Amino acid sequence: LVGLVAFLSALGATLTLPGIAGVVLTIGMAVDANVIIYERIKEEIKKGSNLRTAVQDGFKNAFSAIWDSNITTAMVGGILIYFGTGPVKGFGVTLLIGIFTSLFTAVM
């Protein structure tokens, strides 16, 4: 959220109601990425891996699902920016920036 707001501030963007909806959707996707990662880590621990290996394998196994969902949503955001006008374009911009910041924080 901090990265998203910082990027929007750097662009000088005004946060409207559709923009807030994009922020909410971004937060939901970030929470989903964290849930996927932690569930994969729990699966690795149940298989008997030690904590270090479980964390490494959990992130490695969760990456494809996170990547797929974020890229799909980013494509929709790009379509909204290209074809949308006004509030729809603002939603797409906020969503696209949020997806990239969320993907960055989930992977790093």
Measured in Å, how far apart are the chain's first and last C-alpha atoms? 15
- Whether residue 14 has pLDDT greater than 90: no
Residue 8: per-residue pLDDT: 87
Question: Which among 99, 66, 94 has a CA at the least distance from the CA of 81?
Answer: 94
User: In this structure, are residues 58 and 43 in contact, taking their beta carbons and an 8 Å threshold?
Assistant: yes
The overall average pLDDT reported for the chain is: 90
Q: What is the model's pTM?
A: 0.82
Contacts of residue 90, Cβ cutoff 8 Å, sequence gap at least 6: 13, 16, 18, 19, 22
When pLDDT is averaged across residues 79-92 and rounded to a whole number, the result is: 92
Q: Which contiguous run of DSSP H or E holds residue 105?
A: helix 87-107
- pLDDT of 1 reads 87
- pLDDT at position 45 is 93
